[in-house]
Amino acid sequence: METIILDANNSEHITLCAQAIKNGELVAIPTETVYGLAANALDETAVANIFSTKGRQADNPLIVHICSVLDVTALVSSVSPFFEPLAKKFWPGPLTMVMRKSSEIPDNVSAGLDSVALRMPNHPAALALIKASGCPIAAPSANLSGSPSPTKAIHVKNDIDGKIPFILDGGSCEVGLESTVLDLSCEVPAILRPGGITIEEIRSVVGDVLVADEKSTGKPRSPGMKYRHYAPKTPLVAIAGSAKVTAEYIRDNIDINTVAIMFDDYSFEHSNVILYGNSYDHTAQAANLFDALRQADSMGVLKIFIQMPNADGIGLAVTNRIKKASGNNIVGLDNLT
C-alpha cells in the first residue's frame, strides 16, 4: 500500500479521508496534541486494525474523539455531573474525560473496561473529519507503539509508511503532548495521565482532584499508564536538578557518542546539542519534546541526555513523558529532583 500525504486544509482531501473511515480503513490525522491514527470507533474490525498497525497491547484502551458535546449522550451510560462545567471550559481542547460507557462502544475500544475515554480535539481538520465521517473516531497516536509520539506528518510517515492509505498533513502540533486524561467514573475526579490541561486548571472547575498511581499492576484505565511509552531507540538518560547544575553535568559528560537535548538558555556550542525551549517555558518544551527525541534518535549515537524541567503546570506532563521515555533512567543532581 502506498501512503499518500494529503493537505489538511483541503476540504476534498478531508472528504477523501472521511470516506476511507466509512470504508473501515485507518487514516492519520492532525490534532492540537499529536497526530492520531483514526478509525471508526463503532467498527470493531477497524479498531482491531489500529492495534495491529501500531503493535499496541490489547489491554491499552483508546480515546474516542467527537465533534460535538451532543455526541456524548449516546456513548456513555451516565453523564458525570462534572462533565458539563469541564466541557464548557476545556472543550474543544486537550482534555479527555473518562465515564461509564454505553453499549455502543465496542469492548476493544475500552480494552474490556466498563468506561470510555472521550475528547473533542481543538483542530479544524480533525473536527471536520469527524463530522464528515459521521461517527466517533478512535485515535491513539499515529506511531509504532512505544516510540515518541508524532507531532509532524513526516513522523507518521517514518513510522507507519505503507500501512495506511492517507496522512492528513496539518503541520506541527501546537500542544505537542497527549491530552490530560481525567477519570470522572469515580467519586473524586482522578488524573490518569497529565497533559495539556494542568491540575491547577482542573481544580479551578471541580475542586478536589486525585492523581492516580501509575504503579498499579491492574488493567490501565488510560493510555500512557502501564507501558513504556514515547521512547527513542537510543538509550535516554534524564538529568534532573536545577537548570544550571544539569547543564554543567551535560557539558562535562557529553562526547561524540552522546546527544544532549537542552534548554535554550543553558545550552553551549556543540554539534550534538538539540534545543527544546527555555528552562522556564514548559509550553515550548511540550511542543518540541517528541520532535527533539526523534532528531536525537536519528543521529546514530549511543546515548541521549535530556535536561528535565521542574513539574510546575504543564511541566508535570513534560516530566511524565521524559520519565517514561527514559524508563526512569534518571540522574538526580541536587535537591530540586
- With 50 as the cut, is the pLDDT of residue 326 above it? yes
Sole residue written with cell 449522550: 73
CA dihedral sign, ordered 128, 129, 131, 132: positive
Is residue 259 classed as helix, strand or coil in its secondary structure?
Answer: strand
- C-alpha distances (whole Å) from 231 to each of 74, 145, 167, 324 are 36, 9, 22, 7
d(CA 315, CA 323): 12
- Portion of the chain with pLDDT greater than 90, in percent: 92
Phi–psi pair at 28, nearest 5 degrees: -95, 135
What is the structure's pLDDT at 223? 62
Q: What's the pTM value of the predicted model, to 2 decimals?
A: 0.94
Q: Which three cell numbers stand for residue 231?
A: 521512547
- Please classify residue 200 by burial: count the beta carbons closer than 10 Å to its beta carbon, then call 0-12 exposed, 13-18 middle and 19+ buried: exposed
What is the structure's pLDDT at 336? 45
What is the structure's pLDDT at 1? 85
Q: Which of 114-118, 123-127, 229-233 has the lowest mean pLDDT?
A: 229-233
- With 70 as the cut, is the pLDDT of residue 337 above it? no
Q: Which of 199-203, 213-217, 294-298, 332-336 has the lowest mean pLDDT?
A: 213-217
User: What are the structural domains of the chain?
Assistant: 4-211 (3.90.870.10), 236-332 (3.40.50.11030)
Nearest to 144 by CA among 226, 54, 234, 42: 54
* Mean pLDDT taken over the chain: 94
- With 70 as the cut, is the pLDDT of residue 221 above it? no
Nearest to 217 by CA among 28, 22, 59: 59
Is residue 104 within a helix (H) or strand (E), and if so which, with residue range?
none
- Portion of the chain with pLDDT greater than 70, in percent: 95
When pLDDT is cut at 50, 70 and 90, the band that residue 224 belongs to is low
**In DSSP terms, which residues pair with 187 in a beta bridge?**
none
At 179-197, the pLDDT tens digits run 999 999 998 999 999 999 9
What is the structure's pLDDT at 213? 73
- With 90 as the cut, is the pLDDT of residue 216 above it? no
When pLDDT is cut at 50, 70 and 90, the band that residue 82 belongs to is very high
When pLDDT is cut at 50, 70 and 90, the band that residue 219 belongs to is low
Q: Which of 156-170, 174-188, 225-239 has the lowest mean pLDDT?
A: 225-239
When pLDDT is cut at 50, 70 and 90, the band that residue 229 belongs to is confident
At 250-260, the pLDDT tens digits run 999 999 999 99
